[in-house]
Amino acid sequence: MYFLSFLLTIGSIIHIYLLAESISCAGSTSRSAPPRPPPTQMDSAVNPLWFDARTIHFSINAWVLVVAGLGMLPILPKHLADRTCKLSLLGTILSSGYSLYSTYGKPRAWNMPAIQAWLQSVLATKDFIHLMFSSMLFTSQLHLKIAALPVLCWALDHVARFLRRNFARSSFYRRYLEEPCLWVETNNTTMSLLSSNAEIALGFLLIISLFSWRRSIIQTFMYWQVLKLMYHAPVTSSYHQSAWAKIGRIVNPYIHSYCPFLQTPISAIQRWWFRQ
């Protein structure tokens, strides 16, 4: 807990420094520009500085980025790596849940038709997919370090986009953060493909775990439902379809040559997989 508080304190200090830099840059620009009328009460209510939804979302993702990055370090002891991985998944649950609530609100009523209508509106969104992915692995008894890789990629993309959008005038940002953020933006497709491959690899690891004492048949099936959703959802379909096509090009020749008896069950699984 002390270590977590230390990380949150460091993140808050950096955030406050960037805000101060942006305010000072805005002040220097306003001194050279003609004076503008003071902001009205309506403007200050629409654009609060500290506690708007985007700032809260950024703060959670920055925390997830730090914790997931620590969890991926090979020098970290296993028990600490497992804890940081779980904390990064918990942070992604909070981030995705908060983003869903701030964007789509809650169901109009707490009855089955209203809940189904709300789920249909959020089912194919990126935040809902991230929420389901993190919830599945956070509640799992398995401790898989690779689960932190997609979480790290999502948090890194969000933090970089937020910094470029809101702190481009900050001297601290231009000196230390502009090049890393530009690299993240340039390599966004590569990071998405890396994340997709890690998500698929987790699915196969869960199948292998069915032969261990920590197996969970229901959780494995539900995770493959999430993978199927990622394959069909517009926000992730291109990356997952590319990854699965590459896997098929590698595996199919070996199945046809050495395991032809697997073609019938694989065809049945594919019919379920492609059915939306």
pLDDT in tens, 42-73: 444 444 444 577 888 899 999 999 999 998 88
Confidence of residue 138 (pLDDT cuts 50, 70, 90): very high
- Min mean pLDDT across 47-51, 171-175, 252-256, 259-263 is at 47-51
Which domain range does residue 114 map to?
Answer: 2-33+45-218
Q: Please report, for residues 52, 61, 127, 141, 157, the alpha-carbon distance to residue 58 in angstroms, rounded to integers and kept in the order given.
A: 10, 5, 14, 29, 11
Q: Is residue 244 part of a domain?
A: no
Q: Is residue 269 part of a domain?
A: no
Query: 71-115: per-residue pLDDT in tens?
Result: 888 888 988 999 999 999 999 999 999 999 988 988 888 889 899
Q: What is the mean pLDDT of residues 136-151?
A: 91
Q: Is residue 230 part of a domain?
A: no
Confidence of residue 253 (pLDDT cuts 50, 70, 90): very high
Least Cα distance to 220 among 231, 205, 239 occurs for 205
Q: Is residue 18 part of a domain?
A: yes
Confidence of residue 272 (pLDDT cuts 50, 70, 90): very high
Q: Is residue 180 part of a domain?
A: yes
For position 225, what pLDDT does the model report? 95
Phi-psi region of 76 (alpha: psi -120 to 50; beta: other; left: phi over 0): beta
For position 143, what pLDDT does the model report? 86
Tell how far CA 140 is from the center of its chain: 18
- Beta carbons of 226 and 218 less than 8 angstroms apart: no
For position 275, what pLDDT does the model report? 87
* pLDDT top residue among 5 and 133: 133
Q: What is the mean pLDDT of residues 179-207?
A: 94
Tell how far CA 55 is from the center of its chain: 16
Q: Is residue 151 part of a domain?
A: yes
Query: 204-237: per-residue pLDDT in tens?
Result: 999 999 998 888 899 999 999 999 999 999 999 9
For position 11, what pLDDT does the model report? 52
Two tokens at 16? Answer: 């406050």
pLDDT at 133 exceeding the cut of 80: yes
Maximal CA-CA distance, the chain: 79
Domain count along the chain = 1
- Beta carbons of 118 and 104 less than 8 angstroms apart: yes
Confidence of residue 14 (pLDDT cuts 50, 70, 90): low
Average pLDDT value over all residues in the chain: 83
- Beta carbons of 127 and 99 less than 8 angstroms apart: yes
Q: What is the pTM of this model?
A: 0.80
For position 51, what pLDDT does the model report? 58
Q: What is the percent of the chain where pLDDT is above 90?
A: 57
Q: Is residue 176 part of a domain?
A: yes
Q: Is residue 122 part of a domain?
A: yes
For position 172, what pLDDT does the model report? 86
For position 42, what pLDDT does the model report? 43
Query: 161-186: per-residue pLDDT in tens?
Result: 999 888 888 888 888 888 999 999 99
For position 33, what pLDDT does the model report? 45
Return all residues near 249 (Cβ < 8 A) that are at least 6 apart. Answer: none
Q: Other CB atoms closer than 10 Å to residue 154's CB: what's the count?
A: 26
Return all residues near 2 (Cβ < 8 A) that are at least 6 apart. Answer: none
